[in-house]
Amino acid sequence: MPPSTAAVTYLLLLLISCSVTSSISSSAAANIAPGADADADAVVNAVVNANANNANIIFRQPVLSIVGEHVGDLTVTSTDEPADVVYAFGQRHSLDEAQRSGLLESLCSNTGIACSRRDAIIFETNVTTVVDDTRSSKRFVVMEGQEPADAAHAFVATNNLTIGYRNAILSEACQFVACTRTEPVIFRQTIKLDGAFEGTEMEIAVLEGQEPADIIYDSLKPYDVSFTERQRVMQAAKEEGVAHTREHALVFSEEVQIGDNTIPFYLYDDGAEPIDSLYAFTLEHGTENDFDQFYTSGVVPRLCESNRCRRMQPIIWKSRPITSPSGNKILGSFAILRNEEPVDAIDHFAQVHGLDAEYRDRIVEVVCDERPCSRTVPIVWRKTINDEKGRVLGSFDVLEKEEVADAVYRFLDELSFPLDRSRLKAYFFENACVHPRVKCTRLVANVYDDDVTLRGMNIGRLTIRENQEPADAIYEWSMANDQLKEDLDGAVSTLIDEICNEKRVKCQRRAPFIKSIPLSGPDGNRVGVFRLMLGQEPIDALYGFFSRHGLFAKGWDIKIVLSQLCAIDGVECTRTEAVKFQSDNFTMGGQSIGPLKIGEKEEVIDVLYRKRLDFNLTIEDQMESFAMICKEADIYCARTRAAVYSMYNISVLDYARFGNETCQRKYAGVQFLSKFADSAIGSTVASFLKKNDQVASMVEHPLFGVILLFFALLFVKLSLLLIERKRRLSAGVYPVAYLYTFILVCVFVTKVIEPVDDIDLAVHLQEGLLPALHVLEGEEAADAVLKWGKEAAREHHPIVRQPIHWEILDKICVESQHVPCTRRRAWEPVDMGAITLYGNHHGIEYWNPAVDPDFDTTSLCEPVYDGEADACLQRGAIDLCRRLHPQPAGCVRDITMHMANQLNDYDKGRFDSKDAYRKIGLVIDAPDKELFPAMSKVVLSKNVNLAPFSRVDNGTATYDSWDSMLLEAWAAVDAFAKVKDPESREWNDKPCTPLFGGALCAKHDKDGNLMIEA
């Protein structure tokens, strides 16, 4: 192993301490360290023996390692050069350069041996040259640490030989010594660095065949050496005659696209800014518009990644030298960058040289005559806004004499990124207001601040703050302006249209609020503030207010509130019916359907349904328009399905089977006469009689006409007696007066009290009036009639399964072609909640076909979604999803699974229900013959045989062993007991009256007694 550095240190100390003898015996020279390489020792001995004949050994000393091992004997003769001997010794014993250097230094400094050089000759040879037929021999040597290629280059240059000699010499030398390259260094210079690398020396070496400018640039680039210093080194290389093809280094090259051409771009280290060179190249081969693509295509980022770019925009214009205001001093010139406003460059120049604003503005005026200027006011504070990834979102600029509040409003108004605007605004105020040239006198921006001219006349100055609605600010300003009072409404509308078209002015509406009235409910709780806009009909504004605050759903009467509003001074009401939606040219399904107007009493979905049929559009087109209209908070949409068929003024008396049920009452009051009640006087009389039952009963009494005639005749008698006191009346006056009185009373009683045609119809409707019947889109007639029958039975029971039930069902199926009538039996309604889109509730109602014994659920409701749902549920989901706009992703599957889960929960609670029909799997319109089979089917499905279906213990005992199956079977038996015969079924079907908030249910028996049901 080669000796370590520590071993060499020990070795050097040993040499210093030992005495040096002038001669060494030949026997001592024979001491060779044991274990030394035999071939190496043979070579040394050969050298020593060869020199022993001509020279004496002047130094010989064994060399030991730090652990005391013998490394070898170092022997120097009088003719040896110590450097060569040490180099040879180190090669034999594998010493590195540092060890050899230390050994030589110790030998030359401490032993008195003369050392003419410190570098050993590692290769030497005689070179025979022929010049002008003259042969000569010259000695070529390679010193330690010298590259053979450099030694050969220096040898041929000194001896004026050709490159062929150099190649031959180098070829021979590289066979004996290590050669790291074959190209010699043709230029070498050491420079001292400054700046961050001050005190460091840097050597620049240029090999033969290399471009000097490139090597100089690449060597000095990491150390931020200036362009001037690089040029000085290049000049030194030129003075030494170094071959070169150019004076500037090639620092970047890339093929770029300009128009339809691909052109190579080369950037040289010529002192120019890289972006300026690229810009000049673009103008040479294309236009200025071609330059923008270099930013997006990545050319500029790649250019500045490999080269130091002090700016990212090129200089497009440079001024002439600018003198001081006095003219006795040249201040310099300024440059305008691309996309830079000239005034900003001029302002920066003025700030650097201390020029006042007046002189700066004069320069701006001159420059803007030559260059296009979009503004003449400079930016005094700028902040670039970046996102979390460092991408530039925008630049916040504050102009000279501009309020920071106005600048912040302008910046945030143009910002399209979702940022925390409050924090950003606070940051701008905190940082910008400390700048001496920034103006900060208010915190609220002016979105409009200018003199107003109307009809060629200056009206005054109008200022609108950012926290004001422009329409309201204009209205308040106009109200206070005496010049606008003659045509206030017209002036306000004109000003709003003009000012709202300004870029900075953001108008949420084009009409001001002229009235703001707080409204409270009957309980005194405040609902909100009703606002009426200029030119708006009060009923339309009130309708929007009701819709926004959900007052229609709460049952508020809009007419009562309207009458109170119309009584307020300044509120003019021209109509009492609101227009909830209006369009001059409405588009539905991509097709223009002309003007569309929807009144207050119309449902949006009903109007759109009729339009859909008229123009042959799809359900998707209808629901898209519905979503567009009803998503507005000002429009109340009570239903999401259209009523395709409706029946009004349905009287139970129309379907009675015996007698003339249209004359149930002998006398009718004026409160039932529709024509009279609609008149001005009749409405007052009718409302009074409807509220006062005693007066109404008296008017309807059989003797009312007789009593009325008696008092009328008495009144006429007294009147004639009073007249006769003043003058005598003829004998015929009395009979005539009595006759006329009798005729008038009879006409009145006949027209108002007795049952004429109008009164007869009014009585007919009033006595047997049932709720209106609506069949909605996609709803089976049987299902709609059953749902209506349950509601109608609350006032007139029974309805379901009665002739009125089946006759109305037949009437619907005959008269309407849009109502599906595929069955006469209703299915079981299951409420499964609703899905809400844009505030509209789309009910999820499922009609369960399992209650219909004629429906084949096995084949028509096959399993879907791996058996988790069935096809009947899926069809219901498909129908609902077609009505949703926009349709949610995965709508059909999600709704189907929801309905399956809801139906499963509904079935689980079937035997806990109070509905007897639900327990046995039927609905209320089921015929009597199906009741027992249905109950039997349920009982048998629970694996229970309860014949003859009666409890032995009368239901009073409890059994711990009873399981849920048995309990559910008994529940079905109990349910059947409630409907097993017509009398008990009628009592079961009779609607109950909730008592104590719904805690109890009460029904009236045949005698009118109120019976409480469990």
d(CA 348, CA 436): 15
Q: Which residue has the tokens 């045509």?
A: 487
At 44, is the pLDDT very low, low, confident or very high (cuts 50, 70, 90)?
A: very low
At 135, is the pLDDT very low, low, confident or very high (cuts 50, 70, 90)?
A: confident
pLDDT in the model for residue 946: 62
Residue 145: closest CA among 163, 122, 125? 122
Identify the bridge partners of residue 61 per DSSP, sorted by sequence position: 74
Determine if the peptide bond prior to 886 is cis (ω within 30°): yes
The DSSP code for 321 is P
| Coil/strand/helix, residue 776 | strand
- Within 8 A by CB and 6+ apart from 272, the residues are none
Q: Count other Cβ atoms within 10 Å, centred on residue 122.
A: 21
pLDDT in the model for residue 699: 66
At 670, is the pLDDT very low, low, confident or very high (cuts 50, 70, 90)?
A: very low
Taking CB atoms within 8 Å and a gap of at least 24, the contacts of 582-587 are 586/625
d(CA 76, CA 52): 11
d(CA 769, CA 771): 7
pLDDT in the model for residue 1: 41
Q: Mean pLDDT across the stretch 180-209?
A: 89
State yes or no: pLDDT of 30 exceeds 80.
no
The DSSP code for 654 is G
Q: Alpha-carbon torsion 721, 726, 732, 737, what sign?
A: negative
- CA count, 13 A, side-chain hemisphere, 158: 9
d(CA 783, CA 611): 26
pLDDT in the model for residue 401: 94
State yes or no: pLDDT of 990 exceeds 80.
yes
pLDDT in the model for residue 659: 43
Identify the bridge partners of residue 831 per DSSP, sorted by sequence position: 845
Q: Count other Cβ atoms within 10 Å, centred on residue 757.
A: 7
What the block records as the tokens of 739 is 């006759």
pLDDT in the model for residue 150: 92
State yes or no: pLDDT of 689 exceeds 70.
no
Residue 778: closest CA among 615, 982, 640? 640
d(CA 410, CA 885): 37
Rama region for 921: left / alpha / beta (φ>0; ψ in -120 to 50; rest): left
Identify the bridge partners of residue 847 per DSSP, sorted by sequence position: 829
d(CA 232, CA 912): 103
Q: What is the DSSP string of 368-417?
A: HHHS--S-SS-EEEEEEEE-TTS-EEEEEEEETT-BHHHHHHHHHHH--S
Q: Which residue has the tokens 């490159």?
A: 163
- CA count, 13 A, side-chain hemisphere, 539: 17
| Coil/strand/helix, residue 222 | helix
Three-state secondary structure of 103-171: HHHHHHHHCCCCCCCCCCEEEEEEEEEEECCEEEEEEEEEECCCCHHHHHHHHHHHCCCCHHHHHHHHH
- Give tens-digit pLDDT for 524-551: 889 999 999 998 999 999 999 999 999 9
Residue 172: closest CA among 144, 211, 136, 141? 141
Least confident of 372-386, 753-767, 776-790, 930-944: 753-767
What the block records as the tokens of 786 is 């059953």
Least confident of 292-306, 450-464, 859-873, 998-1012: 998-1012
d(CA 265, CA 246): 17
What the block records as the tokens of 644 is 């395709």
pLDDT in the model for residue 300: 92
Where is mean pLDDT largest: 52-61, 423-432, 690-699?
423-432
Bigger pLDDT: 1005 or 535? 535
Q: Count other Cβ atoms within 10 Å, centred on residue 680.
A: 6
Residue type at 436?
P
State yes or no: pLDDT of 73 exceeds 90.
no
Give CA separation, 225 vs 212, 268, 614, 687, in Å. Answer: 16, 16, 84, 104
| Coil/strand/helix, residue 68 | coil
Q: Are 184 and 207 in contact (CB under 8 A)?
A: yes
Q: What is the DSSP string of 829-857?
A: EEEEEEEEETTEEEEEEEEEGGG-TTS-H
- Give tens-digit pLDDT for 918-962: 999 999 999 999 999 999 999 988 887 765 444 545 555 454 555
Residue type at 946?
L
Q: Are 843 and 640 in contact (CB under 8 A)?
A: yes
Q: Count other Cβ atoms within 10 Å, centred on residue 18.
A: 12
pLDDT in the model for residue 614: 94
Q: Which residue has the tokens 């609108």?
A: 464
- Give tens-digit pLDDT for 365-391: 999 999 899 999 999 999 988 888 888
Which pTM does this prediction carry? 0.57
Mean pLDDT in the chain?
84
Helix/strand/coil percent split, the chain, to 5? 45, 20, 35
pLDDT in the model for residue 51: 44
What the block records as the tokens of 83 is 């450097």
State yes or no: pLDDT of 28 exceeds 60.
no
Q: Mean pLDDT across the stretch 317-333?
A: 92
Q: Are 524 and 615 in contact (CB under 8 A)?
A: no
Bigger pLDDT: 862 or 132? 862
- Give tens-digit pLDDT for 564-615: 999 998 889 999 999 999 999 999 999 999 999 999 999 999 999 999 999 9
- Give tens-digit pLDDT for 649-668: 888 877 765 444 444 444 44
| Coil/strand/helix, residue 33 | coil
Q: Are 325 and 284 in contact (CB under 8 A)?
A: no
- Give tens-digit pLDDT for 154-178: 999 888 888 999 999 999 999 999 9
What the block records as the tokens of 984 is 């008990």
Let me know how many helices (H) and strands (E) the chain has, helices first. 37, 33
d(CA 565, CA 561): 6
Bigger pLDDT: 688 or 431? 431
Give percent above pLDDT 70 in the chain.
Answer: 86
pLDDT in the model for residue 876: 95
d(CA 145, CA 149): 12
Q: What is the DSSP string of 552-569?
A: TTTT--HHHHHHHHHTST
- Within 8 A by CB and 6+ apart from 275, the residues are 300, 303, 304, 309, 311, 312, 313, 314
Q: Are 183 and 208 in contact (CB under 8 A)?
A: yes
Bigger pLDDT: 90 or 546? 546
pLDDT in the model for residue 760: 57
Please give the torsion angle defined by the CA atoms of residues 852, 858, 860 and 863, in that order, rounded to the nearest 10 degrees.
130
State yes or no: pLDDT of 2 exceeds 50.
no
Phi first, then psi, for residue 838 (nearest 5°) are: 55, 35
pLDDT in the model for residue 500: 94
At 467, is the pLDDT very low, low, confident or very high (cuts 50, 70, 90)?
A: very high
Question: In terms of residues, how long is the chain?
Answer: 1014
Q: Count other Cβ atoms within 10 Å, centred on residue 619.
A: 15
Give CA separation, 904 vs 424, 749, 869, 943, in Å. Answer: 54, 64, 10, 21
State yes or no: pLDDT of 1010 exceeds 70.
yes
d(CA 530, CA 550): 14
Least confident of 50-64, 193-207, 736-750: 50-64
pLDDT in the model for residue 167: 92
